[in-house]
Amino acid sequence: MTPESIPLIKAITLDLDDTLWPIAPAIYRAELALHAWLTVQAPKTAQAFDVAALRAKRDEVALKRPDIAHDFTQVRHESLRLALLESGDDPALSREAFEVFFAARHELELYPEVEDAIRRLASRYPLMALSNGNADIARTMLGPWFRGAISARAFGVGKPDARIFHEACRRLSLEPVQVLHVGDDLELDVLGARNAGLHTFWLRREGCEPMDDARSAGLATVSCLRTLADRLGIPAG
């Protein structure tokens, strides 16, 4: 991304997890809430599967079911169904169990600058969420600033596949060269978007481990979304 290319930008697509909020603590809180619910509603499952074991069951399903591995919601549903079934509880409880998890998964703590930066970015550009995860931007406080969202679950393929980036461009009625994608993952976000013809900024927050990867040479990077708004020339306040 060069200063000369900034005038070409007509919209921004944004990754969600680890771009707008840290995902690990959110998932852990949701897993604790899920296990507390299971302790009351499905005690045999709660006894047989602690938080770590439920996570391992989720990973097992993702590995054994490549047909649904891109769909984090379906993977979580299926892993809960199997855990309930194997423990002797009613597997039909998996739907309610997932809703407990999913509600808690949206109790997010944004990175400090994000709310103000998103407001600034949205004042100039249409924003679209583009995520391989199952977060629903409409269920967050940032929802009003976004024009739309595309998830790997809904679309059928995830980043770095060029098709999901091109679908975002199609929905924005723009060409890839007119869209900027921002995310934290080198492979999924930055290289995927670049290969699809979009402009990119790689979000490398303070504290990120150095990456010894020749593919990262020369990439445009920002340390936070406030810096991104500054680089795009959007005034604060």
What CATH number did the domain enclosing 179 receive?
3.40.50.1000
The CA R_g of the chain, rounded to the nearest whole Å, is 19
CATH code for position 95: 1.20.120.1600
CA distance 225 to 116: 9
Both 95 and 165 in one domain: the answer is no
Per-residue pLDDT of 109-161, as tens digits, reads: 999 999 999 999 999 999 999 999 999 999 999 999 999 999 999 999 999 99
- 5 pLDDT band, cuts 50/70/90, is confident
180 is in which domain, residue-wise? 3-21+110-231
For 211-229, write each residue's pLDDT tens digit.
Answer: 667 677 779 999 999 999 9
C-alpha to C-alpha distance for 38 and 47, rounded to whole angstroms: 9
Percent of the chain with pLDDT over 70: 95
d(CA 174, CA 134): 25
Structural tokens at position 82 = 């199997």
pLDDT score at 36: 98
Which pLDDT belongs to residue 216?
72
Q: Is residue 237 part of a domain?
A: no
Element (H, E) at 11: strand 11-14
**pLDDT value at position 26?**
95
